[in-house]
Amino acid sequence: MKAAVLTSMGDADALVLQEVADPKPGAGEAVVRVRAAALNHRDVFIRQGLYPGVKLPVILGSDAAGVVAEVGEGVDTAWVGKEVVVDPCFDWGDNPRAQSNKFHILGLPEDGTYAEFVKVPAENLAPKPGHLSFEEAAALPLAGLTAYRAVVTRAQVAAGEKVLVTGIGGGVSSFALQIALAAGAEVYVTSGSDEKIERAKALGAAGGANYREGDWGKAIVAMTGGGPDVVIDSVGGETFARAIEILKTGGRLATYGATAGAVNKFEVRRIFWKQLTVLGSTMGLRSEFAEMLKLYESRELRPVVDKVFGLGEAAEAHRRMEQGGQFGKIVLKVD
């Protein structure tokens, strides 16, 4: 099969289209013919050497939509020929509050989805929502699941609440916007681009502030009439610190990422004095994956697809993510 293989650490050109052996399903496994895969920032961080223990070569990619080609021993053969998406979480464990230390994600160390075929445990298969194209469905798994757990399970966003989603151009952020809107919240966003704020408004956001222009925190406080009830943050760094400052008394902040790194100076007293709740969130349970798919199917929601590249253009797709040009998910179409 053809795959975009990560051959060395470094810049995006380290992703090379190569001929590699087809995967064979073992007991309990299925092989999916990938019709579309999607990028996550994780893939860029891995390529840049920011993840420990990477063994090369490896096929990156945690998201896939496709058709089941073959199943191994003990797997219902009725799956063969079915259109599916793949839950990228392995070995969460028994505790719904947090993953076990065996937890890992499709696309490292196991070969991932930037390929014509991917092998996964059959228990990770789920039917593809019927109203979505393969490209749209491939955008769903990792980002949709992460946003669902952060917004619904952890922050418990309720109808009428004012929610701020930071860095709306991000893949997960676009899902957080849609899921918070589906919960009946009034959603505000930040972005480094006015155009992306306008696109978020077209999706239903009530307003937004550009973090490259002036004091975005002040602007959000003014728009929300005193600050948001909830912040969903993936930026970290100074954005996290500012979000804590502008949250309403009694507010919640769900954090699932730190694209901008650590916080240099942080006023802990703001958390206790304002009685804030800070909620860490990572990926999600199989049951949350099913609930997320059900939400997208029942409301006929469509993931925001930024741009579709060919499998041979994985390097170009990575560069787009690295430069932050995207609004929504960057997808690789696999023919």
Binding site for ligand NAP (CB under 6 A): 40-42, 142-143, 146, 166-173, 190-193, 196, 211, 234-235, 239, 256-260, 282-283, 321, 324, 326
We find the least distance from the C-beta atom of residue 73 to ligand NAP, in angstroms, to be: 32
Tell whether the torsion through CA atoms of 203, 244, 105 and 122 is positive or negative. negative
Output b/e per residue, 245-270; b: 16+ Cβ within 10 A.
ebbbeebbbbbbbebbeebeeeeeee
We find the least distance from the C-beta atom of residue 212 to ligand NAP, in angstroms, to be: 8
- For residues 122 and 317, which CB has a smaller minimum distance to ligand NAP in the complex? 317
Tokens of residue 175, six digits: 């899902």
* Whether 204 contacts 228, CB under 8 Å: no
d(CA 172, CA 91) in angstroms, rounded, equals 22
We find the least distance from the C-beta atom of residue 69 to ligand NAP, in angstroms, to be: 28
Q: Which residues pair with 58 in a beta bridge?
A: 6
d(CA 187, CA 168) in angstroms, rounded, equals 11
- For residues 9 and 279, which CB has a smaller minimum distance to ligand NAP in the complex? 279
- For residues 129 and 257, which CB has a smaller minimum distance to ligand NAP in the complex? 257
- For residues 23 and 169, which CB has a smaller minimum distance to ligand NAP in the complex? 169
Nearest Cα residue to 295 out of 122, 123, 157, 194: 157
We find the least distance from the C-beta atom of residue 321 to ligand NAP, in angstroms, to be: 5
305-310/329-333 β-pairing: parallel
- For residues 37 and 68, which CB has a smaller minimum distance to ligand NAP in the complex? 37
- For residues 117 and 296, which CB has a smaller minimum distance to ligand NAP in the complex? 296
Residue type, 100: S
d(CA 120, CA 82) in angstroms, rounded, equals 15
- For residues 33 and 318, which CB has a smaller minimum distance to ligand NAP in the complex? 318
We find the least distance from the C-beta atom of residue 284 to ligand NAP, in angstroms, to be: 8
We find the least distance from the C-beta atom of residue 39 to ligand NAP, in angstroms, to be: 7
We find the least distance from the C-beta atom of residue 150 to ligand NAP, in angstroms, to be: 8
- For residues 2 and 320, which CB has a smaller minimum distance to ligand NAP in the complex? 320
Residue type, 125: L
Query: In whole angstroms, how large is the CA radius of gyration of the chain?
Result: 20
Tokens of residue 128, six digits: 């593809």
83-86/63-71 β-pairing: antiparallel
Residue 152 dihedral angles phi and psi, to the nearest 5°:
-90, -55
We find the least distance from the C-beta atom of residue 196 to ligand NAP, in angstroms, to be: 5
